[in-house]
Chain A
Amino acid sequence: MARRENPEINAGSMADIAFLLLIFFLVTTTMNVDSGISKKLSEKPPPDYKPPIIKEKNIFEVNINRNNELLVEGDRLEIKDLKEAAIQFIDNGGGLGKPGEDGTPGTTCDYCKGDRSESSSDHPNKAIISVQSDRGTEYGTYIEVQNELLKAYTVLRNRLSQERYGMLFTDLEKAYKDSQRTDEDLKKKIDDIKTSFPQIISDAEPTSAN
């Protein structure tokens, strides 16, 4: 009479239990990474602040009305044409740039490939894009416009980066990120491109929707 002392517990269904739990977590997990258009707000100006006088030609005015229609520099425009118009404006390079902080006089934009027209922007670092929207404008349209404007900057930055470093700006940024933000050389390149084409998009006070 050989009776086994400790019969083993049957672990065959262990996998089933584990699978069940696994599937539960698979279904409930959301792996979405929050992403969006980032924006840095300007600080609140002091009450006695006088805005600097900016030449009309250095402002690219985009108006969005409450019917989600665009008025760009006084003309109606479709959203799909906005990018080209913005590129033309930023890349114009018709005059001298902003003087440096140490008092060095501004230089002409030697990397611009625009028309160098007298009536458009002087230099990318002077070119301001002003977006004015109505309070009743749809948020989706507003984001679309912001996106198109950002695209224009990306195109220009990519072009310059390709010329100077033989690499797209987006790839440059990615490589920097991959290096855990430690690569000083890359950082210098990125900063160089960024100061060459700074993103100056300002939001004007909205028109009221009464």
Chain B
Amino acid sequence: MSKFKKKKKGLPAVNTAALPDIVFMLLFFFMVTTTMRETTLQIETPVLPSATEIKKLEHKSLVSTIYVGKAKDAKYGTGYNRIQLNDKIATPDDVPAFIFKARQDVSEAEVPFMTTSIKADKQSSVGIIIDIRLKLRDVNALKLSYSTSKGSDN
């Protein structure tokens, strides 16, 4: 009789052997999609104005970004009109050099599609933006994007 005695079984544990696989898959996904910020901001993170009629910027490699805002370092003053190109605080006169340098990194056929994105703080003044724009026009960098956050429709 004892041969047929039913073994007492509790609930079998859920097999979690595949859990690491799932987690690793997620992990790799995020590792691949993460882009580390290339430049350290010398200005305070600009508060972007919001707008509704916006277009997404495609081809990140063809976008060069100009930051405008208040410098972190007090020696540059407290106005909201400092320009940052790459890692340095600069003046509008440095913009052409910055654009030429960016052009060297892409093939010649792609140069007309290069876009300059201006990330300026809400409180910056239009004057500095116009200065940048004139410089951009001088070097034929005609595609421009005023970076904004997505606003709500009203």
Interface residues of chain A, those whose CB is within 8 Å of chain B, are 11, 14-15, 18-19, 21-22, 25-26, 28-31, 33-44, 64, 133-140, 142-144, 146-147, 150-151, 154, 203, 206, 209
Contact = CB atoms under 8 A, between A and B. Distances in A.
B143 A146 contact: no
A34 B126 contact: no
Contacts of B31: 25
Interface residues of B, number: 55
A22 B23 contact: yes
Interface string B32-63: 01111100000000000101111111001001
Main SS of the interface on chain A? mixed
B53 A136 contact: no
Contact of A206 (B35, B118, B127): B127
A150 B55 CA distance: 12
Q: Which 4 A-B pairs have the closest CB atoms?
A: A135-B127, A140-B122, A150-B53, A25-B30
A34 B117 contact: yes
B25 to A, nearest CB: 10
B53 A29 contact: no
Contact of B55 (A15, A38, A44): A38
B125 interface: yes
A35 B54 contact: yes
Main SS of the interface on chain B? mixed
B93 interface: no
Interface of B: 16-17, 19-20, 23-24, 26-27, 30-31, 33-37, 49, 51-57, 60, 63, 65, 68, 115, 117-118, 120-127, 129-130, 133, 136-138, 140-148, 150-151
A136 B54 contact: no
A41 B136 contact: yes
Contacts of A19: 23
